[in-house]
Structure 1
Amino acid sequence: MRKSRVLDEESALDLIQDGMTISIGGHLNSAHPMLLIRGIIRRGIKELTIVTSAQGGPETGFLIAAGCVKMLITSGVHAEGLAGIDPCFRFALQNGDIELWEADEGIVYAGLRAAAQGLPFSPWHGGVGTSIPELNSFLKQFDDPITGKPLLAVPAIRPDVAILHAAKSDEYGNVQHVHGWGDRAHYRAAKKTIVQVEKVVSNEEIRRDPSKTSIIGADAIVRAPFGAHPMASPEYYLEDQAFIKNYVSVANAAFKSGDPTGLDAFIDKYFVQPESHVDYLEKIGVRQLLSLHEF
């Protein structure tokens, strides 16, 4: 008999511990696993290495503001188009509060691919002739033994846990995204994968169109309607621009003034005080949530 992989949010969060390497799925104007991000912050999990395949979004900034991050493996961190550079990311780097594993998007995917294939590194063209190898000592340039041309050896990036958000899954961990091609790379490279979904559906519904199945047998599934808020979940709701703009404004003010009181209060209100996903949604309010439905 197949075993259900559906967990409540607290049981899923038990899989994430201090000092782990956590990869976060999602990309610009797409779904990010915010229920799990809030849980990490609420539990005070520290010393994390965070991996984002594309540029990270505000969820990475939230983790930095809460003091959860030790190192970032990323090509950059934005605020869903409302800020080209997330303020917490920018100021944390300027102040030396976090380490950066310098890369572009292709280099990160090359590292994830090496892990998925069980290889120590992956050869890659991108970055050759730039300053990226000088900024990132983990990248090694070598000559291709076949063509003699220079390549970069990108070491395998092996997350302990990948956390993703998708449209739906059955109880056995068979997941279907609306968009989410990058999330597959996280899943293949990681030792364990937690996927929060807008809804859990029958296995028969998943099998009705198996070509849409993006992940087979995730380790844990968490039912999380509106679980990507304040980011978007394609075909379910748009990003909450008012929420993100407020965050950017509060964070910029905190760093420019040198007084973190406002940012600390923001993190406490939305990430620490709510004891569950339902508590968080109640704090946002049903009117605001329903206003985000796509049209």
Structure 2
Amino acid sequence: MARFVELEEAAALVPDGCSLGIGRLPPMALVRALLRRGARDLDLVSAPTGGLAEDLLIAAGAVRSLHTSGVDLAEFGLAPNFGRAVEEGSVRVIDSTCPVLLMALQAGASGVSFTPVPGVFGSDLLRERTDWKVIEDPFGDGAEVVLVPAVAPEYSIVHGLRADDEGNLVTTIEFDDRLLVQASRQVVATTEERSADATRSLAADEQLIPAAYLEAIAVAPGGSLPIGCHGRSRDDAAAIREYLDAARDPGRMRVYLDRLLA
């Protein structure tokens, strides 16, 4: 059974220097709490693409590396701090593709150390990813096949719609974080609300993450904002544009962070 904790306690459960998966519905309140406690040297894992959470963590200097198939802010454009970090080399980027990263997470969830993947021959990734191996297919016609290592984050953070008193978490199928949760050793979650009957019935676009997968849950209404939460809130476009405006200049970004985390 997952235990319920306050937001700052949830952030304290995630240690510096760990590999950290970020849910697709980003737990922005928990990300801000991580920054308030001064998180450092995080090795982030996107599942499989990143967004505002990753960009904000990079802006604050909390990220050592990022394993991802891409980072952007959807219709709001590119992720400026991610782009700057790539250009400056201040963050190590472990490049992948969406299918490969998802299959690597599936391997992590299955408890195996690697998985074969299709569709990467002819890509520069085979040259850049020296940890990927090409072997002769032992079961087929001898054609070459690519093997990639499993991805199993030490910790992951996710945001849900609601949780019951036993710590079972309801999330949305639109942002399917179950694979990331299953691949991770420990998971810390936030939720819009807690109620005894939260999991009594699920809508067609909802799914359940059992409490057995979760270490702790913090109740954080609006915890994904300024990214909208499925069925509850829309993107706060003004807040995202304010962020993008500040991110154009590192000095203005520092002022923005000081105000955001005060």
Fold equivalence (TM over 0.5): yes
CA distance in 2, matches of 1:171, 1:133: 47
- Compared with structure 1, are the counterparts of its residues 246 and 209 closer, same or farther at alpha carbon in structure 2 (3 Å cutoff)? closer
Partner of 2:171: 177
Partner of 2:110: 117
Q: Are residue 68 (structure 1) and residue 66 (structure 2) matched?
A: no
Q: 1:15 aligns with which of 13, 19, 24?
A: 13
- Identity over aligned pairs, percent: 29
Check conservation: 2:161, 2:191, Cα contact below 8 A: yes
Check conservation: 1:79, 1:248, Cα contact below 8 A: no
Matched residue of 2:173: which SS?
A: coil
Check conservation: 1:173, 1:219, Cα contact below 8 A: no
Aligned AA (2:145)? L
Q: 2:257 aligns with which of 252, 257, 267?
A: 267
Partner of 2:97: 104
Matched residue of 2:15: which SS?
A: coil
Q: Unpaired segments of 5 or more residues in structure 2?
A: none
**1:1-295 aligned within 5 A:** 5-26=3-24, 31-83=25-77, 85-147=78-140, 148-180=142-174, 182-202=176-196, 204-209=197-202, 212-217=206-211, 218-252=214-248, 254=249, 260-270=250-260, 272-273=261-262
Q: Which has the higher helix share?
A: 1
- Compared with structure 1, are the counterparts of its residues 181 and 143 closer, same or farther at alpha carbon in structure 2 (3 Å cutoff)? farther
CA distance in 2, matches of 1:210, 1:242: 30
Q: How far is the alpha carbon of 1:180 from its aligned partner?
A: 4.8
Aligned AA (1:7)? V
Aligned AA (2:254)? D
CA distance in 1, matches of 2:121, 2:165: 44
Q: How far is the alpha carbon of 1:207 from its aligned partner?
A: 3.1
Aligned AA (2:237)? Q
Q: Deviation per CA, 1:205-258: give whole Å up to 9, x if none.
A: 413449854211122111111000110101000011111112112212x1xxxx
Check conservation: 2:163, 2:193, Cα contact below 8 A: yes
Q: Unpaired segments of 5 or more residues in structure 1?
A: 255-259, 274-295
Matched residue of 1:23: which SS?
A: strand
Q: How many pairs were matched up?
A: 258
Aligned AA (1:116)? A
Q: Report the RMSD for the aligned CA atoms in angstroms.
A: 1.7
Check conservation: 1:162, 1:190, Cα contact below 8 A: yes
Q: TM-score, normalised by structure 2?
A: 0.93
CA distance in 2, matches of 1:141, 1:182: 30
Matched residue of 2:177: which SS?
A: helix
- Residue range with higher mean Cα deviation, 221-230 or 175-184: 175-184
- Compared with structure 1, are the counterparts of its residues 213 and 172 closer, same or farther at alpha carbon in structure 2 (3 Å cutoff)? farther
Aligned AA (2:239)? F
Check conservation: 2:173, 2:207, Cα contact below 8 A: no
Q: Deviation per CA, 1:147-181: give whole Å up to 9, x if none.
A: 22322211111211110011111122211113355
Partner of 1:281: none
